[in-house]
Chain A
């Protein structure tokens, strides 16, 4: 693990640090409030109050579950790209497109030069961090995913749109670090969609993070990673967070062939399944990870954000995850003591 970097940043995390990927389900009253607010039937202030109450609920829940690195739960966000596009200049909100099943989102449209105008995530990060003594991750969407998940009516090609976005995402990162964030997760779920574009995706990530001190996690999920591995390791970040649980852990077989050189956040919960994993299942998935990587380079988290699950399902899944982690930690401690 990049323990030295974490130590330099003043962070002391246990073996197999636990975290979540970002989103938690919104409680029913907040879902209702957002719908009302969309119809202008609720004030911004009232919605904000409910968002903060839900955020505090999730902070306390994460503390109760004993997670090590917290998230704000994204109670104020809808879609991860549209949220950023709504604040960056140069975007217009597009119509609804389907993501899967009955899930739709407003796919943004780039209609002019993109420009960062003001901090987007900083106030929520600062407010959430003030609630807890545990570190809270800064959460950004990466430039490649913003580009890929937007329609482009302005830039001549995908590369120029991506690099323009990278320059603006960097400004948000600078603001986040200035506020005090030390661990920053950059979501790039689109990373594997066009393997021939990995080169400029890596270039864009350099533009975002080079020279800025933090522990960086890139989260990518539901992709065909075999097509961009081991090139993926060129990303200038410390930790790659990959969806593992429902892919029968075949990514780890790839690591046995081409050594994985970074820390790995091991997604051990299938966020699209209603079924709760057992602690034994979680422990088994972690052990598949520790079979190919040293345990001190592994973090443990769900596959993806939990927003598609219910509050109860999320808690149950995370409780199982923590029980599995505790079992593996205890076994490691016992082995070390022998």
Chain B
């Protein structure tokens, strides 16, 4: 089978770049990585990319195909050949390019280190025997534990493009893996690492990470899990948590979003006042509902009771989660 690829090249010594087109023969079952190997062996030995395990375990061969991050070793090329499509292969996004398809993973690992990706058990006596982790407790962190740190999620993160210091989906999914580990005693100090500027509340919920992850980690869901723990521990200082608080309140106060509360209660009165000229533009367009006559849903008592009832159940669950694992006997 003849395969044609367009590859984004970059040589740091000459700073020469551009897209090169390569056509080679490959086996029907060839992956994108196999084709790159053929090009490197037979056509152009200077082509650079990372690889190791060839079986979607090591996380080395993350790159973009037509602008979307993939693991080269997990991507068959036959469907593209059958379609007559010539894909463009380029390096992952949000990370500096070293050469051709090789990116500098330095910033990625820095963010990983920042969330302390190891168990914190300083708060507890050493167990006489092993900790007993129940299946349902393991299930809570199983998806996040599947991460192979390939960087495909980080490559596509829309928030990180706007804020390069955002911790991002990979580091935050790893944080969820420890926050929800019953053996971990990090508690609020662990949550502080991912709360505040560049933490969970920077995520804009674009779900690109979830779409691209080749291992089913569901990083956006993991970020939400960390946000939930922060919120339920009563850590409401960040604008992101305060924003969420208005939404929660809205559901049972009127049933509809309290739009006029959202700005002052999220950003604070001073910042809200500074933004009055902007608010007036919205008023003129009819975008600001009358706060004195809020739109109210019918049957609000149901939602009020639901908030209290489920709220109590959430507190019980949090107490159970904070109790730690069972000791071995």
Q: Is A bound to B? A: no
Q: Which residues of chain A have a CB within 8 Å of any CB of chain B?
A: none
Q: Which residues of chain B have a CB within 8 Å of any CB of chain A?
A: none
